[in-house]
Chain A
Amino acid sequence: MSISQNVLQYFYQLPILLQIVWLCSVGLTLLIILFLFYLYYLRSYLRGEESVLKELFTQYETNLITYLYSGDIDVEISSEQKKISDKMKSCAKNTFKRNILISVLSKLKNDVSGEIATAINLLYIKTGLINYSINKLESKKWEIIALGIKELTQFEVKTAYNEINKYQNHPKHEVRNQVQLYYVSLFQFKGLEFLNNLKTPISEWNQIQLLEILQKFDDQEITDISPWLKSDNDSVVLFALKLAKIYNQFQVIEILLELLNHINKDIRICAIEILGYFHVKEIKEIIKPNFFDRSNEEQISFFKIFEEVIDAEDESFIIENTSNANFEIRFLAFKLLKMIDVNKWHAIKLNTTEIDNERIFNYLEAM
């Protein structure tokens, strides 16, 4: 009797429960072996792909640099450049190679400016990569659309304006962000005109990105921001307030004063900060009469900028606030009082009984 027959005989003699356990063990062992083979295959495949990617990346890098430095002054494009551009064009037909090619161009485009940057933009058009990016705009997937816009922004394709403009109010904020970056990166301050029709909010992060892009331009002549300060879109107003501060828009002070009574608290606080930054004394006439009806944040913001607009006639208002229930306001009031009337400050200090106030006095004295 062979071993297999012995094993089978032994197996059939076992109780049914043990037979099931044995079958499960064998099945699971086979599954593990199968998975091990699959993992081995997957690892080899990924390593192979990574090595091809590295190889192609290096090859395209070399091709790109050779292209950029093999120009001929006498002709628009040298024969060597034409050869490289054609080769890249044919590579771009393959999605895998196209993605590598775009990443090589992007990587260099991010770090260089001037003639080289212009040459990269031109190569992007010559190799037909521009068409793939424009085709991405027709995709049903929002992330592909956003990627297409990003590429067209990076390679400064102004002619895609009409196609990109369609996505100005796209439901996905990632797409809208890319559209806004496209406008500002390529059309500078004129690109901010999208704010006129914007129905959706601009994220804080995107506002920062837009401001950063704007600051890079040599021409810092900003367009009129008044319509944006009056916008129904609160995020547009907040963005315009940032612009007002960064670009010292003194001509919009009247509108900033109106914003002190805006329905949105964040806008009111921001307006207080900017008017303080601009040293606009009229702010006091608007804030002081209804100071106690305003939110705590507004009151604190006002006291923080009070130093910039303070006069001797504000003394009674400040003294009134030295007994404010809010510690921060009380502290700022004592600080301001010390600034404008040190004698009065000393007088109050001598009569103070509250521990909190004693701490404030000690701190201010040490300052």
Chain B
Amino acid sequence: MSNSKKIVLAEDNTTLSLLLKFRLEKEGYQLFIAEDGKKGIELIEEHNPEMVLTDIMMPFISGLELISHVRNKLNLKIPIIVFSAAGQEEMVLKAFNLGANDFMGKPFSPNELVIRIKRLLM
């Protein structure tokens, strides 16, 4: 597990987080789950992950603020995938402007997410 790539997931839907943790750990990744953006930032600073997955709408600190923190404060170039719900198209554009690499609209297929993660971490 120590050699596996680390991913921080910031997502307030605990059931989805659990599902993704199960699925991604099966693929050999090490997943750190945060229920909000604030905890997400803490986990990123603590574990220095290879990738970040984040929802846009979250309590305390939004996904956009998290991306901004990663890119501008921590100066990390790691890939970031954003999850967005319907009607958040403008938010997605803002996320890309802030430095997100990819996005997935909810509802999404976990299998597709795995493919995108693999591609970005190649």
Q: Which residues of A contact B (CB under 8 A)?
A: 58, 61-62, 64-65, 68-69, 104, 107-117, 212, 216
Contacts and interface: CB of A to CB of B under 8 A. Distances in A.
The 6 closest A-B pairs by CB, nearest first: A114-B109, A113-B107, A108-B15, A111-B16, A107-B15, A111-B106
Contact of A116 (B18, B19, B106): B19
B29 to A, nearest CB: 15
Contact of B22 (A69, A107, A212): A69
A81 B87 CA distance: 36
Given A111-B106, A111-B108, A112-B110, A65 B86 contact: no
8 contacts: A61-B14, A68-B19, A69-B23, A104-B15, A111-B13, A113-B107, A116-B19, A116-B109
B26 A69 contact: yes
Interface of B: 13-16, 18-19, 22-23, 26, 83, 86-87, 106-112
Contacts of A68: 19
Given A104-B15, A107-B15, A212-B87, A115 B111 contact: yes
B111 to A, nearest CB: 6
- Chain B binding surface, main DSSP class: helix
B18 A61 contact: yes
- Chain A binding surface, main DSSP class: helix
Contacts of A109: 107
A71 to B, nearest CB: 12
B15 A216 contact: no
B72 to A, nearest CB: 28
Contacts, number: 55
Nearest to A208: B87
Nearest to A68: B19
Contacts of A114: 109-112
A58 B18 CA distance: 10
B19 A112 contact: yes
A110 B83 CA distance: 13
Nearest to A212: B86
Nearest to A215: B86
Contact of A112 (B14, B26, B109): B109
B22 A116 contact: no
Contacts of B86: 212, 216
B15 A64 contact: yes
A212 B87 CA distance: 9
Contacts of B109: 112-116
A65 B19 contact: yes
A65 B19 CA distance: 6
A108 B111 contact: no
Given A212-B87, A216-B86, A108 B112 contact: no
Given A69-B22, A212-B86, A107 B13 contact: yes
Nearest to A69: B22
Given A65-B19, A65-B22, A68-B19, A111 B87 contact: no
Given A69-B23, A69-B26, A117-B107, A112 B87 contact: no
B87 to A, nearest CB: 7
Contacts of A62: 18
A111 B113 CA distance: 12
A113 B111 CA distance: 10
B15 A61 contact: yes
Nearest to A66: B22
A42 to B, nearest CB: 27
B89 to A, nearest CB: 11
Given A113-B109, A114-B111, A116-B109, A108 B87 contact: no
A109 B13 CA distance: 11
Given A107-B15, A112-B19, A113-B107, 5 more contacts: A58-B14, A61-B14, A62-B18, A64-B15, A108-B16
Contact of B110 (A107, A110, A116, A212): A116
A62 B23 CA distance: 13
